[in-house]
């Protein structure tokens, strides 16, 4: 539990606190959700519980649909959260409400009539081929650190991994002979993803005596990518290094780890890859999540047409020019 969550819990009625605790335990043990996802659910639910408690609700059985509507108006108004954040919080509350019904705490879903705010689906940021090339060339391959980071960047872009999946890889996850990775994704679901020749080359270089061996300590386990302390590298550390490489590569925009995953999918789609295959490699449970990349490709095609076609608005010469 985070420090903020502990502060909220100290002011909640015991029945409401227990309800959230039981639900989080179900998420972790029965549904196999990751700790990070469970923490996000807990934060959102405790926030609503505090709001409901301020309205004199002492138990989950007393919470009303009006409480939910008022909370959503508060989030969208005074708190000035964007529609996506409000929708995420409502989704967490809905999942919890269904749990309360299934466990017999309530007879009804108190979120049933709540309307989520309209969201405009945001297209993910991607890097161009030149940006990727410059970024991948940034690590210094004469150092163990550079060998490690080059391998991580190559794998993230070459296999479309989430940063948590990348940092969670084990030595046994990689089959260098067959050229694939076994990745543990969201909800503990395992999938197999291919590894390209460049990524394999970078991974072999990192696994040599000049690479990973440099980071190994007495307490080191089987994590594939190690920090300077001999433990599995953290997402935060990777993000810091990525930011430095983007800067040294001369990239104007801020590059987040997910940009490499988005670039992977977008570049595959642009070069004719099947959407279902991309869905499987990304580990998306629903094809609709993957379909956002088709919208991105169409947007990029439209921009290219507007920029380059002789009859487009931007490229048509002005009269008398």
Between 162 and 288, the more confident residue is 162
pLDDT at position 282: 77
* Catalytic member of 89, 261, 262, 267: 261
Q: What's the pLDDT at 305?
A: 47
pLDDT average, residue stretch 118-127: 63
258 is catalytic: yes
Q: What is the mean pLDDT of residues 85-108?
A: 91
For the chain, the first-to-last Cα distance in angstroms comes to: 66
In this predicted model, which residue has the larger pLDDT, 162 or 320? 162
The residues of the chain that CATH labels 1.10.443.10 are 129-306
**Residue 314 predicted with pLDDT over 50:** no
**Would you say residue 35 has pLDDT above 70?**
yes
- The pLDDT assigned to 192 comes to 85
CA pair distance 25, 32, nearest whole angstrom: 10
Single out the catalytic residue among 94, 186, 191, 256: 186
Confidence of residue 84 (pLDDT cuts 50, 70, 90): confident
- Alpha-carbon torsion (221, 223, 224, 228), positive or negative: negative
* pLDDT tens string 243-276: 999 999 998 778 888 888 888 888 877 777 777 7
The pLDDT value recorded for residue 147 is: 96
Region 118-142: mean pLDDT is 80
Out of 217, 258, 276, 298, pick the active-site residue: 258
Q: How many angstroms from the chain centroid is the CA of residue 38?
A: 14
Residues 172-195 have a mean pLDDT of 85
**Which of 130-144, 202-216, 297-311 is least confident?**
297-311
Separation of alpha carbons 74 and 48, rounded Å: 11
More confident: 160 or 110:
110
Q: Is the pLDDT of residue 193 over 90?
A: no
**Among the options 116, 182, 198, 284, which is catalytic?**
284
Q: Is 214 a catalytic residue?
A: no
Question: pLDDT at position 30, please?
Answer: 81
CB 169 within 8 A of CB 223: yes
The DSSP-derived string for 58-122 is: -SGGG--HHHHHHHHHHHHTTT---HHHHHHHHHHHHHHHHHHHHTTS-SS-TTTTPPPPP-PPP
pTM assigned to the model: 0.57
Residue 245 vs residues 90, 160, 161, 248: alpha-carbon distances, Å:
37, 19, 18, 5
Active site residue 284: yes
Residue 103 has pLDDT above 60, yes or no: yes
Q: For residues 292 and 281, give the distance between their C-alpha atoms in angstroms, rounded to a whole number.
A: 15
Contacts (Cβ under 8 Å, ≥6 apart) of 210:
144, 147
Catalytic-residue membership of 236: no
Instruction: For residue 73, count other CB atoms closer than 10 A to its CB.
Output: 12
Has 303 been annotated as catalytic? Answer: no
As a whole number, mean pLDDT of residues 47-64 equals 93
The catalytic residue among 162, 212, 241, 267 is 162
Helix (H, G, I), strand (E, B) or coil at 232: strand
Instruction: Evaluate whether the domain defined by 129-306 bears CATH number 1.10.443.10.
Output: yes
Residue-wise DSSP of 12-63: S-HHHHHHHHHHHHHHHHTS---HHHHHHHHHHHHHHHHHHHHTT--SGGG-
> Is the pLDDT reported for residue 278 higher than 80?
no
What pLDDT score does 51 carry?
A: 93
Instruction: Return the H-helix or E-strand segment holding 166.
Output: helix 163-167
Instruction: Report how far residue 26's alpha carbon sits from residue 102's, in angstroms, rounded to the nearest whole number.
Output: 12
């Amino acid at each position: 539990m985070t420090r903020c969550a502990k502060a909220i819990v100290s002011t909640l009625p015991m029945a409401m606190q227990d309800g959230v605790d039981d639900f989080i335990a179900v998420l972790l043990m029965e549904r196999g959700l990751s700790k990070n996802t469970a923490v996000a659910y807990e934060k959102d639910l405790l926030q609503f519980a505090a709001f409901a408690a301020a309205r004199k609700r002492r138990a989950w059985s007393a919470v009303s649909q009006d409480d939910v509507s008022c909370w959503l108006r508060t989030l969208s108004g005074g708190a000035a959260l964007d529609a996506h954040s409000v929708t995420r919080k409502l989704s967490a509350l809905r999942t919890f409400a269904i749990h309360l019904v299934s466990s017999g705490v309530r007879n009804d879903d108190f979120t049933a009539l709540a309307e989520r705010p309209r969201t405009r689906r945001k297209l993910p940021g991607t890097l161009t081929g030149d940006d990727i090339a410059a970024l991948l060339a940034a690590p210094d391959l004469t150092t163990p650190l550079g060998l490690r980071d080059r391998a991580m960047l190559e794998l993230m872009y070459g296999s479309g991994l989430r940063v948590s999946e990348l940092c969670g890889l084990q030595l046994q996850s990689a089959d260098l002979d067959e050229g694939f990775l076994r990745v543990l994704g969201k909800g503990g679901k395992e999938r197999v993803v291919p590894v390209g020749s460049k990524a394999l080359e970078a991974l072999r270089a990192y696994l040599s005596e000049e690479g990973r061996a440099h980071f190994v300590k007495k307490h080191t386990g089987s994590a594939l990518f190690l920090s300077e302390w001999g433990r599995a590298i953290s997402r935060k550390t990777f993000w810091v290094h990525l930011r430095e490489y983007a800067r040294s590569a001369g990239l104007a925009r801020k590059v987040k780890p997910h940009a490499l995953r988005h670039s992977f999918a977008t570049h595959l789609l642009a070069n004719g890859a099947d959407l279902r295959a991309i869905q499987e490699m990304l580990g998306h449970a629903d094809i609709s999540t993957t379909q956002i990349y088709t919208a991105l490709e169409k947007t990029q095609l439209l921009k290219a047409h507007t920029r380059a076609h002789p009859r487009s608005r931007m490229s048509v010469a002005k009269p008398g020019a």
